[in-house]
Amino acid sequence: MLHGTDRDGSDLDLMVDALPDATLFDLGGLQDELESLLGVLVDLLTPADLAPKVRAKVPAEAQPV
Protein backbone atom coordinates (compact mmCIF):
# COMPACT_ATOMS: atom_id res chain seq x y z
CA MET A 1 0.00 0.00 0.00
CA LEU A 2 2.84 2.36 0.80
CA HIS A 3 4.17 2.29 -2.76
CA GLY A 4 0.78 1.89 -4.47
CA THR A 5 1.64 -1.54 -5.84
CA ASP A 6 -0.87 -3.54 -3.81
CA ARG A 7 -3.43 -5.69 -5.63
CA ASP A 8 -6.38 -7.87 -4.74
CA GLY A 9 -4.96 -10.65 -2.61
CA SER A 10 -1.90 -8.67 -1.51
CA ASP A 11 -0.87 -9.09 2.10
CA LEU A 12 -0.23 -6.23 4.48
CA ASP A 13 3.31 -6.02 5.83
CA LEU A 14 3.45 -4.62 9.35
CA MET A 15 6.52 -4.06 11.50
CA VAL A 16 5.99 -3.94 15.24
CA ASP A 17 8.24 -2.99 18.11
CA ALA A 18 7.35 -5.87 20.41
CA LEU A 19 7.60 -5.46 24.16
CA PRO A 20 10.65 -7.20 25.66
CA ASP A 21 8.54 -9.94 27.25
CA ALA A 22 6.41 -10.62 24.14
CA THR A 23 6.48 -14.24 22.97
CA LEU A 24 6.01 -15.74 19.53
CA PHE A 25 2.54 -16.76 20.74
CA ASP A 26 1.76 -13.11 21.49
CA LEU A 27 2.91 -12.02 18.04
CA GLY A 28 1.03 -14.88 16.37
CA GLY A 29 -2.12 -13.92 18.26
CA LEU A 30 -1.71 -10.30 17.17
CA GLN A 31 -1.25 -11.40 13.57
CA ASP A 32 -4.39 -13.56 13.70
CA GLU A 33 -6.41 -10.76 15.29
CA LEU A 34 -5.24 -8.20 12.72
CA GLU A 35 -6.11 -10.55 9.85
CA SER A 36 -9.59 -11.05 11.31
CA LEU A 37 -10.17 -7.34 11.81
CA LEU A 38 -8.71 -6.18 8.49
CA GLY A 39 -9.86 -9.03 6.27
CA VAL A 40 -6.44 -9.41 4.59
CA LEU A 41 -3.39 -11.57 5.20
CA VAL A 42 -0.90 -9.84 7.48
CA ASP A 43 2.85 -10.38 7.48
CA LEU A 44 3.92 -9.26 10.95
CA LEU A 45 7.63 -8.67 11.56
CA THR A 46 9.84 -7.10 14.17
CA PRO A 47 12.95 -5.09 13.18
CA ALA A 48 15.10 -8.09 14.17
CA ASP A 49 13.20 -10.26 11.64
CA LEU A 50 14.28 -8.07 8.72
CA ALA A 51 17.03 -9.29 6.43
CA PRO A 52 20.30 -7.40 6.99
CA LYS A 53 20.20 -5.91 3.48
CA VAL A 54 16.89 -4.11 4.18
CA ARG A 55 17.28 -3.40 7.91
CA ALA A 56 18.07 0.28 7.34
CA LYS A 57 15.74 0.86 4.37
CA VAL A 58 12.48 -0.55 5.75
CA PRO A 59 12.32 1.47 8.99
CA ALA A 60 13.23 4.63 7.07
CA GLU A 61 10.23 4.11 4.73
CA ALA A 62 7.81 2.83 7.38
CA GLN A 63 4.62 4.74 8.10
CA PRO A 64 3.04 4.58 11.57
CA VAL A 65 -0.48 3.18 11.83
The pLDDT assigned to 21 comes to: 92
The pLDDT assigned to 57 comes to: 84
10-residue mean pLDDT series, the chain (65 residues): 65 87 94 94 89 84 82
Domain residues for the domain of 19 are 13-61
Would 22 be classed as within a structural domain?
yes
CA distances from 26 to 20, 43, 56 (A): 11, 14, 25
Q: Which amino acid is at 65?
A: V
14's torsion region: left (phi>0), alpha (psi -120 to 50) or beta?
A: beta
pTM of the predicted structure, to 2 decimals = 0.73
CATH of the domain at 52: 3.30.460.10
Q: Which amino acid is at 42?
A: V
Would 56 be classed as within a structural domain?
yes
Would 5 be classed as within a structural domain?
no
1 neighbors 33 (Cβ within 8 angstroms): no
Would 1 be classed as within a structural domain?
no
Q: How many domains does the chain have?
A: 1
What distance in Å separates the CA atoms of residue 58 and residue 11, rounded to the nearest whole number? 16
